[in-house]
Structure 1
């Protein structure tokens, strides 16, 4: 899957991932390969990115996530 994390100022992350956990409004949820299309608002919280060999974490200040056809875009209001 391809993931992009964008803020109004810059592109924070772009790359291939195996899983992404995001802080949804009703609780955190994980997006895996072939996830059903989804658009969701995000709360302040941690985005956990799992790659083939490592894990990265970003703390976002709210935003929106869209996942469709194994492409995930996180539009964050900011990164802490």
Structure 2
């Protein structure tokens, strides 16, 4: 699955990942491959990304996350 994290000025991160855990407005959630289409408001916290070789945490202060056809887009 591919992820693109963008801010107002630039693309912050763009890679293939296996899963993401995100701080949703009503609680944290995880997205895996072939997830149903989904949109969520994000609150302050950390995006936890995991791929075969890498575990990465990105601090965020809110945003929007959309999942569609194994593409995840996060707008901060």
When the two structures are superposed, what TM-score results if normalisation uses the length of structure 1? 0.92
Which whole-Å deviations, capped at 9, do the CAs of 1:42-64 have from their partners, x for residues lacking one? 00110000011110110011000
Q: Tell me how many residue pairs correspond in the alignment.
A: 76
Please give the alpha-carbon distance, in whole angstroms, between the structure 2 residues aligned to 1:25 and 1:74: 14
Instruction: Give structure 1 stretches of 5+ with no counterpart.
Output: none
Equivalent positions of 1:1-80 (< 5 A) are 1-76=1-76
Q: Aligned-residue CA RMSD in angstroms?
A: 0.6
Bigger strand fraction: 2
Which consecutive aligned stretches of 4+ in structure 1 deviate over 6 angstroms post-superposition? none
